Amino acid sequence: MAGTGAGRTRLFISGIAEMAAILALVAMSRTVVAQPFYVSSGSMQPTLQIGDELLAAKYAYGYSRYSLPFALGPASEDRLFGRMPQYGDVVLFHLPRNVAEVYVKRVIGLPGDRVGMRDGQLWINGKRLPLRPDGSGQVEGEGGDHSAASRLVETLPNGREHPVFKLTWSGELDNTDEYTVPAGHLFMLGDNRDDSLDSRVPAEQGGVGFVPLENLVGRASIVLGSWDFPIMRQPFWTWPTGLRLSRFFSSIS
């Protein structure tokens, strides 16, 4: 009987060790390789949809304390194996005024850039960025409502193009001051320009403000899956129709 008890103890300890190894592997992969993120707002439409599940490549810009679980580690302006993001990258980052929140936006301004909006158009370093019509689209609200919007394609200083939605050309954030991006920081915008809380609103006014490089989580690289969440208000047997299969495993640009 004693041998049986010892065997059970060894099996129990072995099971605990295997579970610990699995948890350590998961924690390591989330720290070093990639981290999932659920899109709960429409600020990045049409590029990202409410209900998208993203995967952020954490190695893209190197590592900081925010690459670790619970942001364990010392504060530092430098990132381990750090690389500067490029214009147009879609990035996950910890909100500077509340690091418990993670946002997803597009990199628009790099350190030293002068960025501002005039009559709804983006200016960088004294030059208006090209913006061409690309039809129209539907902006989805968080309550599932939709409204028509102009779809346009914006060309960034490095030649990279991306879509934006515009509802109006005289909105609250269509004319701003010219902001100079400090060293070690980035300027972020949402592609849904009239419904995005981003770097156009300073942190002290409840906005995003400039984002320190330290706060970056990673580059949003792929949509793992997508589901039209408001369909849950319908009978449960209709829920599978909310799957946006065309967005599964699609790349983000």
pTM: 0.82
List beta partners, residue 24: none
Which helix H or strand E contains 31, and what residues bound it? helix 2-32
3-state secondary structure (DSSP) of residue 30: helix
Q: Where are the domains of the chain?
A: 1-32, 34-251
- pLDDT of the residue at 24: 35
What architecture does CATH give domain 34-251? Ribbon (2.10)
Q: CA–CA separation, 247 vs 225, rounded Å?
A: 6
Q: CA–CA separation, 132 vs 143, rounded Å?
A: 30
Active-site choice (58, 64, 67, 105):
105
- pLDDT of the residue at 43: 95
Would you say 91 and 172 are in contact if contact means Cβ atoms under 8 Å apart?
no
User: Mean pLDDT by 10-residue block, N- to C-terminus, for the chain (253 residues)?
Assistant: 53 44 36 70 95 90 78 67 90 94 97 97 97 93 83 97 95 94 97 96 94 94 86 66 88 91
Q: CA–CA separation, 220 vs 105, rounded Å?
A: 9
DSSP class of residue 224?
Answer: E
- Please say if 43 is a catalytic residue: yes
The contacts of residue 206 (CB under 8 Å, 6+ apart) are 97, 197
Q: CA–CA separation, 99 vs 20, rounded Å?
A: 28
Q: What are the DSSP calls for 141-186, one per residue? A: PTTS-EEEEEEEEEE-TTS-EEEEEES-SSSTTSS-PPEEPPTTEE
Phi, psi of 195 (to 5 degrees): -145, 55
* Cis peptide bond upstream of 46, omega within 30: yes
Q: CA–CA separation, 20 vs 16, rounded Å?
A: 6
Q: CA–CA separation, 58 vs 216, rounded Å?
A: 9
Within 10 angstroms of residue 226's Cβ, the number of other Cβ atoms is 22
Using alpha carbons only, give the angle 74, 112, 121 rounded to the nearest 5 degrees: 120
- Please say if 105 is a catalytic residue: yes
- pLDDT of the residue at 6: 57
- pLDDT of the residue at 15: 42
- pLDDT of the residue at 113: 98
Task: Match 């709804």 to its residue by tokens.
Answer: 120
The contacts of residue 3 (CB under 8 Å, 6+ apart) are none
Would you say 53 and 223 are in contact if contact means Cβ atoms under 8 Å apart?
yes
